[in-house]
Amino acid sequence: MRYTAIALVTSSFFALSACDSAPQQTAPTENQTTTLEQAVKHSDRTPAYVRRDAHRHPVETLKFFELEPSMTVVEIWPGGGYYSEILAPFLAPEGTFYAAHFPEETNSDYYQQSLEKFKQRVAEEPVFGRANITQFAPNTPLDSDIAPPNSADRVLTFRNLHNWYMNGGEEAVLNAFRQFHQALVPDGMLGVVDHRLPEDASDDAMENSGYIKQSWVIDLAEQAGFEFVASSEINANPKDTADHPNGVWNLPPTLNVEEGDDASVYEEIGESDRFTLKFRKPVE
């Protein structure tokens, strides 16, 4: 099993600020505990990501997943780093953070460019502290590279399942869940957030809309060996019908609208309606 890790240890992980005009606080040292609220407010976060907090509810979401600062946490496909900017400093003093990004060996230019940009950020920006970069692909063998087997207290994935389904079908999602199950310690938890398709909608809508059914996700996770623990409406949006010409990408932040269409209609809806689910790996 191969692990590609970038570890940067700094004596000062980040400065905190309650608002733009507030004085910066002393950064935590190696053995100081950082709260989720502090991690979300730290001054090194990307401003565009901070503006999305009202739609993504990071503190409430991570508290629902029962994160503790001493845990080993894996984030699957962190993309540009919205959640990584929060998880890395939260876990740096006491825990371990794995960012399981796109696979090193890929034919996708987008995957390669995104991975290299993320590596550069981790290498250069103190906010990422001691983040470890590993890799994940939903169709790889069970002996995967996201983290050592039975090592993670939490595996988290945000708005990724729909991509795996659209590109690899149900088997890709099921195989992903099996990899997460392998990485987790017994009694460890899997947290999932994704765009929610109404239960009375046609299953065909999952093929290209970016929306997937909550019941379908729960069923696949249980097939992979997980126990369903709870759902939360933290990231719900009742204004979103999940029925748009260009799927979820009509909505912010993408706003992929046809020329001549009124983008303000989608801006008024806001970001998508999302389910937030929590699963447990049983103790055998």
Residue 134: inside a domain? yes
CATH code at position 146? 3.40.50.150
pLDDT at 220: 99
pLDDT at 129: 86
Residue 268: inside a domain? no
Under 8 Å between Cβ of 27 and 14: yes
Quote the CA–CA distance of 31 and 126 in Å, as a whole number.
16
Residue 26: inside a domain? no
Quote the CA–CA distance of 141 and 149 in Å, as a whole number.
13
Tally of domains in the chain: 1
pLDDT at 108: 93
What length is written for the chain? 284
- Per-residue pLDDT for the chain (284 aa), expressed as one digit of tens each? 444 443 433 333 333 333 333 333 334 445 566 899 999 998 999 999 999 999 999 999 999 999 999 999 999 999 999 999 999 999 999 999 999 999 998 899 999 999 999 999 999 999 998 899 999 999 877 667 899 999 999 999 999 999 999 999 999 999 999 999 999 999 999 999 999 999 999 999 999 999 999 999 999 999 999 999 999 999 999 999 999 999 999 999 999 998 888 999 999 999 999 999 999 999 98
Under 8 Å between Cβ of 74 and 156: yes
Residue 43: inside a domain? yes
Residue 210: inside a domain? yes
Residue 247: inside a domain? no
Residue 248: inside a domain? no
**Owning domain of residue 82:** 36-239+274-280
pLDDT at 24: 36
Residue 96: inside a domain? yes
